Chains A and B, each alone.
Chain A
């Protein structure tokens, strides 16, 4: 079984630019989550998809962040325009419905300069 795949693994962009992160969950996992870890802080929840629907987006920091999950498969997280405080590691995780343990992707390290 392939794991959760994230792309790119690293991204360095200038303040004001746009970046799109992609996550491919494990096949058959209806639940997809985005998390972010800023240096020295805990992993923070951003949002949760069930299939293509946003179940909970209470963790999204502001309207510069837009997440989509086309057809309930892969998901994208767009940051537009990026700010310095958006730097961090963005993790995606997926799980089957009814299970509480996640499988995390390897993360995208975003650096905004």
Chain B
């Protein structure tokens, strides 16, 4: 049973702080990792993808991947109230098959002014 685990939160941070969201996965051979943001009542929106160990930065977002420890994290710098949403971690199996990711339950982030 492939699993993706996330702390459901809510994670509450003050505006301007760094929000750190974590995700662990059980399938050691997973190859692709994604973070989706889902505002309440809206559809998930892909915000970051990462495929190799290390950090990947995109604006205020940094994804970190450690395959040996089987975790992937998302850092949001200078958090804004508009970042308040549920963040879903998704993990893909090895390439060669169809891209069917396993999703975590999501972490609710609240950025308060």
**With A100-B32, A100-B92, A101-B49 in contact, do A45 and B100 touch (Cβ < 8 Å)?**
yes
Q: Mark B39-69, 1 if CB is under 8 A from A, else 0.
A: 0001111100100000000000000000000
Q: Mark A48-76, 1 if CB is under 8 A from B, else 0.
A: 10100001100000000000000000000
Q: Mark B63-93, 1 if CB is under 8 A from A, else 0.
A: 0000000000000000000000000100010
**Bound Cα distance from A7 to B22, whole angstroms:** 34
B32 near A104: Cβ-Cβ < 8 Å? no
Residue pairs across A and B with CB atoms within 8 Å: the count is: 50
B99 near A95: Cβ-Cβ < 8 Å? yes
Kindly identify, within residues 79 to 113 of chain B, every residue whose CB is under 8 Å from any CB belonging to chain A: 88, 92, 98-106
- Contact size range, B: 20 to 34
A25 is an interface residue with CB less than 8 A from chain B: no
Please tell me which one of the listed residues A35, A42, A48, A104 contacts residue B104 in the complex, with CB atoms under 8 A apart: A42
Interface of A is mostly: strand
Kindly identify, within residues 79 to 109 of chain A, every residue whose CB is under 8 Å from any CB belonging to chain B: 91, 95, 99-107
> For residue B88, which residues in chain A have a CB less than 8 angstroms away from its CB?
43
B19 is an interface residue with CB less than 8 A from chain A: no
> For residue B44, which residues in chain A have a CB less than 8 angstroms away from its CB?
43, 91, 102, 104
